[in-house]
Homo-oligomer: A and B are copies of this chain.
Amino acid sequence: MIDNFIYSTPTELIFGKDVVNGLPEVMKRFGKNVLMTYGGGSIKKSGLYDKVIELLKDFTIIELSGIEPNPKYDPSVITGAKLCKENDIDVILSVGGGSVLDCSKAISVCAKYDGEGWDLISGKVKAEAALPIVDILTLAATGSEYDCGCVISYTAINDKRGYMDPLMFPAVSFLDPQYTFSVSKWQTACGTADAINHVLEQFFSSPHSLFNDGIMVSALRSLMVNVKIALDDPTNYAARSELMYVCSWGCNGILANGAGYSGWPMHSIEHALSAYFDITHGAGLAIITPRWMKKILSEKTVERFVVLGKELFGLDASLSDFEMANKVIDEFYAFFESIGIPMHLSELGVKADKIEEMADHILANDNTNEPWMYVPLNKEALIDILTASM
């Protein structure tokens, strides 16, 4: 059954080998004054920075560099918005991964707002306008290039917010898989684990349909097969192109239109882990996944596991539903281990004595125990999942 939904993603995807050569034509649509945003300088090493500067030689470029892996309201968003206002910026060009793009999205609305930008990000005030965003993606993971959300931290007030507004859909996303050839094995594995988790968060919801189930199983299969090829052979275009494309579907809703919204509990748990121990997001998700699955397995949820068992892992259809579910959980564990993710939080520096505090933090900041969650998680359940993940 396809339940009621509203869906629209206006972003133009320009995908493939050397598509960035078309950048000037695209940028002309929006104007002459460009705020170019990027991170720590990997685009200078790779040559992409020089290429963009050369391509945009007829534009006026203001740069905002040094955007953090977990982008900060202060200084990055504040500085970016100020640069936009002072320089009459027409369009933001984000060059990098999901963090640079998330920061650029926040800048795009703050640049068009006269008050305190955090009021927009924290949901106090509804944005009314945004600068257009064009991005060149260099990492396959978050799906930010094809959604209208961003995650922004405001360190001074210990706040971190997920913020969504259709105004922040990128106007155009350039996706050239060749720019992901140089992504490290660790980042390739963690980016893929992130994307796998995006699919699973949506797969475990209700109601179901043959169509959505098939799309999600296909996304999982593609990610799981192609990440192994890319890890063995980092410049394999076929594998990198499929990873990049599938990741872009992760978070805009298209994987599960009409499947209802039943929460993203593994992301809620992982955000606490990242906040307390600054671990890599995708690795945290991979570790939590099989433990969350074990915890929520029940008569109510077992059907979801059976679909994965039959369609994704090709397990023996004569197994009982619960046997199959437990095998599915083992398969995910073994898969994440096989791509090089240490499957215990302790290996990433997480300390067991913070588990209770993190459980309280999750309950205070997130909706894991709401009755509309696919499976509500109270404090005890959160502690169990975190403890099992150690």
Q: Which residues of A contact B (CB under 8 A)?
A: 1-17, 19, 177, 207, 209-211, 213-215, 217-219, 221-222, 225-226, 237-238, 241-242, 244-246, 257-258
Contact = CB atoms under 8 A, between A and B. Distances in A.
A218 B226 contact: no
Given A210-B226, A213-B218, A215-B215, A11 B12 contact: no
Contacts of A16: 2-5, 258
22 contacts: A1-B241, A4-B19, A5-B15, A7-B15, A8-B10, A15-B257, A209-B241, A209-B245, A210-B225, A211-B218, A211-B221, A213-B218, A214-B214, A214-B218, A214-B219, A214-B221, A215-B215, A215-B218, A218-B218, A241-B258, A245-B257, A245-B258
Contacts of A9: 9-10
B2 A12 contact: no
Contacts of A5: 13, 15-16
A286 to B, nearest CB: 20
A70 to B, nearest CB: 29
Contacts of A246: 211
A241 B2 contact: yes
Contact of A211 (B7, B15, B242, B257): B242
Given A2-B245, A241-B2, A258-B16, A217 B219 contact: no
A8 B12 contact: yes
Given A211-B242, A258-B245, A8 B13 contact: yes
A15 B6 contact: yes
A314 to B, nearest CB: 10
Nearest to A213: B218
Nearest to A8: B12
Given A8-B10, A257-B13, A2 B242 contact: yes
A257 B15 CA distance: 9
Contacts of A14: 6
Nearest first, the 5 A-B pairs at minimum CB distance are: A214-B218, A4-B16, A10-B10, A8-B12, A1-B238
B1 A7 contact: no
Contacts of A219: 211, 214
A6 B1 contact: no
A295 B137 CA distance: 43
A200 B258 CA distance: 24
Contact of A210 (B210, B221, B244): B221
A8 B170 CA distance: 11
A241 B3 CA distance: 8
Contacts of A15: 2, 4-7, 257-258
Contacts of A218: 210-211, 213-215, 217-218
A258 B13 CA distance: 11
